[in-house]
Amino acid sequence: MNILIVGAGGVGSAIASIIETRSFYKKVILADFDASVSQAAIDALDDSSRFRAVQIDARSRTELLRLMRETETDVVLNACDPRLNQSIFDAAFEAGCTYVDMASSLSKPDPLRPHEVAGELLGAYELAMDASWSSKGLLALIGMGVEPGLSNVFARYAADHLFDTIDEIGVRDGSNLSIDGYDFAPTFSIWTTIEECLNPPLVWERERGYYTTECFSEPEVFHFPSGIGPVECVNVEHEEVVLIPRQIECNRVTFKYGLGSEFINWLKTFAYLGLDSKELVTVGGSKVAPRDVLAAVLPNPAKLGHLMHGKTCAGTWVKGTLDGVPRELYLYHVADNETTMRDWGAQAVLFAG
């Protein structure tokens, strides 16, 4: 099996370090816009004999298709941010490859009532192609990281084995991570974090369907396991709210993230200053997007692992009944930064991405 990983940032590098320990593949092509980033990730491996670094512009479906055919790619693993999903997804389809990603194409808020009515949903582009992929006998696994991905698997397992009826499924994500020397530093891509947290949060209910709320709505204190403890979580936009109701009988689906009041205030400040904008502005004769500038000046999350302490938890809380008796369960995955840095050379959030 030949695997093409597109994107050699924190997540792509972590995937490479895990794949290195497996035996099911023939070769791995690690592609990035900056080939030196791919090469650095490969150089950090214990055994890089089956890995090769290449340069690619993932915005170009033509370049991607050429690379997939030249390398006889069987599986395309998209480790880029979701702005690039469409070109990678389409190229994999044309090349006849299996496709896997960890985040879906971006949503488009309702132009008139963005905090009440759901617009175009996350992953709408990929989901609309389901019949086309099926007709060619091809497999595309969208949203197959930890969140979304493992969180969806937890929901499916709970529905199949742990409950007779389900009232609510809520993905809950929290941590007790700290970073030495920084008042503010994102542990994941700030570009994606802004997209998730400042877009209108999505909620699904059986009687109402999909709807949106104000940002950071419905705060609740969730008690996370493994010593993390109580963390206040709020609604944010995430793929599970789209994907879980498609397959699992329940009455409500939510996604809540333990951001903390200080982090929320930073995000509100970015929005107030317009630094969350994806629209190009002219600065000194050059056109730049404020959010891209923000991402460029903030610390690279992939380089912060040696300064981080604590654990992060991703999981799926399920409320329903078994044999007529009400019950609630939380199925979860915890990543300890000390462990992930020691064993995989990746900080906990990127490792659990």
pLDDT of 313: 97
The tally of CA atoms less than 13 A away on the side-chain side of residue 191 is 17
Superfamily of domain 2-141: NAD(P)-binding Rossmann-like Domain (3.40.50.720)
CATH of 150-351, one of 3.30.360.10, 3.40.50.300, 3.40.190.10, 3.40.30.10: 3.30.360.10
Q: Name 141's bridge partners.
A: 100
Closest CA to 153 of 336, 277, 35, 314: 314
Is 126 in contact with 105 (CB distance < 8 Å)? Answer: yes
DSSP at 138: -
Q: Name 202's bridge partners.
A: 212
Is 54 in contact with 78 (CB distance < 8 Å)? Answer: no
Give CA–CA dist 241/316, Å, rounded: 12
pLDDT of 208: 96
pLDDT of 353: 65
Q: Which long-range contacts (CB under 8 A, 24 or more apart) does 30-39 make?
A: 30/5, 30/54, 31/4, 31/5, 31/6, 31/7, 31/55, 31/56, 31/58, 31/67, 32/6, 32/7, 32/8, 32/56, 33/57, 33/58, 34/8, 37/8, 37/9, 38/8
Domain ranges of the chain: 2-141, 150-351
pLDDT of 183: 84
| C-alpha of 106 from chain center | 12
DSSP string computed for 67-111: HHHHTT-SEEEE-S-GGGHHHHHHHHHHHT-EEEESSPPPPB--S
pLDDT of 207: 95
- Tell me, what amino acid is at 86? Q
pLDDT of 127: 96
**Would you call 183 exposed, middle or buried from its count of C-beta atoms within 10 A (0-12, 13-18, 19+)?**
exposed
Give CA–CA dist 212/205, Å, rounded: 11
DSSP at 157: H
Number of Cβ atoms within 10 Å of the Cβ of 160: 9
Is 221 in contact with 232 (CB distance < 8 Å)? Answer: yes
Residues 6+ apart with CB under 8 A from 301: 10, 185, 186, 187, 188, 189, 190, 347, 349, 350
Query: 150-351: same fold as 2-141?
Result: no
Q: pLDDT averaged over consecutive 10-residue blocks of the chain (353 residues)?
A: 95 92 94 96 94 96 97 97 95 98 94 96 96 97 94 98 98 96 88 92 97 96 97 96 97 96 93 94 92 92 92 97 98 96 89 71
pLDDT of 351: 80
